[in-house]
């Protein structure tokens, strides 16, 4: 098990190194001159040139790349934001808790609403409830998130005046972003759960349990669900690892002061350190979450744990043969 964790951690570091190089290269092609953004067009060209030299923007590509990699991976220094003049890591960490809260609450809601909906629809198959859920899920999987969010703003903020349209402050500000962020996830979880449960209903072990004369409730909760929910839980892990990177558009709609908006402002302001830092840290956060989720599975599902443990042994056996 430990070997597996160490191996995954090493892979993680290598992946992040490559991601940093890729992001640096991609942003290298970004059009626009940050010196114009920082100093404006009113100062003489010589001043801008001086700034470029001071910041090292005229240096060869490889030199700049090397400097960036050294700062990031040896000193954990993502540079200073051109716009806000504070270190990127500080600006990021100020906003991360908000994005993380938004993402985690959304995943939580997707789970506690989506899965029971799917289970009950599957158990009452072909009833009105089931059909209704399918229609609901279909519509909310197909609705564009940002549009749904803005329509909510029109209804609840403009027409009814119940909720504040944007910004952050009281708990009321969180309601619409969370709903907008989780509605399609609820629909997806419900659908996936429904089809997973339907598949299990047909299994032989369910028939056996019924044949033994178990009460229906016991058949469902003790025999069917633990097996049916394995793929759903797998999907949940994916949602967890994506939850911090997936809120950019919603944050933009609600002017939510989170990481996504920080990055978008960085893009609009040619604030390279901010964009690079955000993407890199978000990639790291989602990679770490994926790792944790994988490890948790190992403890939950004995079959997966067996894979980790036997991996080394199997490999040795293969080599010998």
Partner 1 sequence: MKHPEHHEQKRKKQSQFLEVLKRLARKPSAMIGLCIFIAVILVCALAPVFAPYDPNYMDYTAINATPSAAHLCGCDNLGRDILSRLIYGGRYSLSLGFTCALIGMFFGLAFGTLVGYSGGAVDNVAMRICDIWMAIPGMLLCIILSAALGNGIPQTIVAMTMGGIPGSIRGTRAMALRERNMEYLEAAKAMNCSKAKILYKHMLPNIVAPTIIGTTGQIGGTIMQAAGLSFIGLGIQPPTPEWGAMCSAGRNFILTYPHLMLWPGVAILITVLSINMFGDGLRDAMDPRLKD
> For binding to partner 1 (CB under 8 A), which residues are involved?
11, 15-16, 18-19, 22-23, 26-31, 138-139, 141-148, 150-151, 153-154, 158, 199, 242, 244-246, 248-249, 252, 263-264, 267-268, 275, 279, 282-283, 286-287
Query: Measured between alpha carbons, how far is 31 from 145 in angstroms, rounded to an integer?
Result: 29
C-beta of 43 vs 57, nearer to partner 1: 57
C-beta of 143 vs 304, nearer to partner 1: 143
From the CB of 286, what's the least distance to partner 1, in Å? 6
From the CB of 38, what's the least distance to partner 1, in Å? 18
- 223 and 206 Cβ atoms separated by less than 8 Å: yes
From the CB of 270, what's the least distance to partner 1, in Å? 9
Query: Measured between alpha carbons, how far is 23 from 45 in angstroms, rounded to an integer?
Result: 29
From the CB of 238, what's the least distance to partner 1, in Å? 11
**Non-local CB neighbours of 89 within 8 Å, separated by 6+ positions:** 76, 77, 78, 277, 281
Q: Which two tokens stand for residue 275?
A: 């964009």
From the CB of 151, what's the least distance to partner 1, in Å? 7
C-beta of 115 vs 287, nearer to partner 1: 287
C-beta of 104 vs 112, nearer to partner 1: 104
C-beta of 43 vs 242, nearer to partner 1: 242
- Give the residue from 60, 20, 51, 6 showing the smallest Cα distance to 33: 51
C-beta of 49 vs 151, nearer to partner 1: 151
From the CB of 251, what's the least distance to partner 1, in Å? 9
Phi, psi of 84 (to 5 degrees): -95, -10
- Kindly write down the DSSP assignment for every residue of 197-264, as one continuous string: HHHHHTSHHHHHHHHTT--HHHIIIIIIHHHHHHHHHHHHHHHHHHTTTS-HHHHHHTT--SHHHHHH
**Non-local CB neighbours of 180 within 8 Å, separated by 6+ positions:** 145, 148, 149, 152, 250, 253, 254
From the CB of 44, what's the least distance to partner 1, in Å? 28
Query: Measured between alpha carbons, how far is 292 from 5 in angstroms, rounded to an integer?
Result: 10
C-beta of 73 vs 147, nearer to partner 1: 147
3-state secondary structure 46-80: HHHHHHHHHHCCCCCHHHHHHHHHHHHHHHCCCCE
């Amino acid at each position: 098990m430990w070997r597996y964790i160490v191996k995954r951690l090493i892979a993680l570091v290598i992946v992040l190194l490559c991601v940093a190089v890729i992001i640096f290269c991609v942003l290298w092609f970004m059009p626009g001159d940050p010196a114009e953004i920082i100093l404006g067009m009113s100062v003489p060209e010589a001043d801008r040139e001086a700034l470029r030299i001071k910041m090292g923007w005229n240096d060869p590509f490889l030199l700049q790349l090397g400097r960036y990699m050294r700062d990031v991976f040896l000193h954990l220094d993502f540079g200073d934001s051109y716009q806000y003049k504070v270190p990127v890591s500080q600006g990021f960490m100020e906003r991360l808790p908000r994005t993380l809260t938004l993402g985690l609450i959304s995943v939580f809601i997707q789970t506690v609403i989506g899965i029971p909906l799917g289970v009950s629809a599957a158990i009452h198959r072909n009833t009105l409830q089931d059909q209704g859920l399918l229609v609901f899920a279909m519509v909310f999987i197909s609705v564009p998130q940002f549009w749904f969010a803005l329509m909510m703003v029109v209804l609840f903020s403009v027409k009814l005046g119940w909720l504040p349209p944007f910004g952050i402050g009281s708990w009321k500000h969180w309601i619409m972003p969370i709903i907008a962020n989780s509605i399609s996830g609820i629909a997806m979880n419900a659908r996936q759960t429904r089809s997973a449960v339907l598949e299990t209903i047909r299994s032989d072990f369910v028939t056996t349990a019924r044949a033994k004369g178990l009460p229906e409730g016991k058949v469902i909760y003790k025999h069917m669900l633990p097996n049916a929910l394995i793929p759903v839980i797998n999907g949940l892990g994916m949602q967890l690892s994506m939850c911090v990177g997936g809120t950019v558009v919603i944050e933009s709609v609600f002017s939510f002061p989170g990481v996504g908006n920080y990055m978008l402002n960085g893009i609009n302001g040619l604030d390279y350190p901010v964009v690079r830092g955000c993407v890199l840290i978000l990639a790291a956060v989602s990679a770490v979450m994926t790792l944790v989720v994988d490890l948790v599975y190992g403890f939950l599902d004995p079959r997966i744990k067996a894979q980790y443990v036997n991996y080394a042994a199997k490999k040795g056996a293969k080599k010998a043969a």
